[in-house]
Amino acid sequence: AMHYKIHAIDVKNALKNYIWLLEDTHTQEVVAIDPTEAALVTDFCEQHQLELKQIWLTHWHRDHTDGVQGLLADQNLPVFGPRDELSKISFISNPLQHNDHFHFNDLKVEIIATPGHTLGHIVYFIEEIDTLFCGDTLFAMGCGRLFEGSAEQMYHSLNRLAALPIQTKVYCTHEYTLANAEFALTIEPHNVALQERIKEVKALRDAEQITLPSTIELELETNPFLRTESAEDFARIRTLKDQF
């Protein structure tokens, strides 16, 4: 499994999206996860002699799906995505639900349902390479806004992710880390791990570097939403974040 590599494409849009590419370096085949813009993926693949083989979607929001139709115009590719959002994402060819799995070459990919940000949101977990593509459910020191689901749903979704192996690398879709860190500090001003992490994040952002991936271990130490004791506690902190 050492022959897999993950690339970040910085969309440089207002929402600070990243498109993740998972490459099998033996075959130079790639998966595009939540492609915001087709041209960015196509150009990256051309530059690095990569062949796009699959598209994975976590949820229906347009900053995660807008590039799909452009990518499908060039070639017929399997599009994996949430079964519960088929009405919103018509071009899903391989609908997925909780506990489903499929393969990208020799990697087994497992699906975890994480309703909250949207009702059908799913995430992609690949145990063999300790990797989680979690869309807008879990962010570095944050979590997605509750556009569709309840606080209770999101609390349970985050608990599912918190239970993954601690070395799991967390690839979320937005560069919201610094703003999340600043909010987290208002919740836990005396958290030493959080104070240290903020310094690192500030240094990375000053150097215009990506702050991802995180790890489940790091999130358990520094993410106020993963450190809540109850759905009620989670709801309180989420409301504070919405007003921050």
- Please list the active-site residues: 59, 61, 63-64, 117, 136, 174
Torsion-angle region of 69 (φ positive above 0: left; ψ -120 to 50: alpha; else: beta): alpha
- Beta 131-135 vs 138-139: how paired, if at all? unpaired
Name the DSSP letter for residue 127: G
Tokens representing 37?
Answer: 């813009």
User: For 47-98, what is the HEC assignment?
Assistant: HCCCEEEEEECCCCCHHHHCCHHHHHHHCCCCEEEEHHHCCCCCCCCEEECC
Q: Which residues pair with 9 in a beta bridge?
A: 19
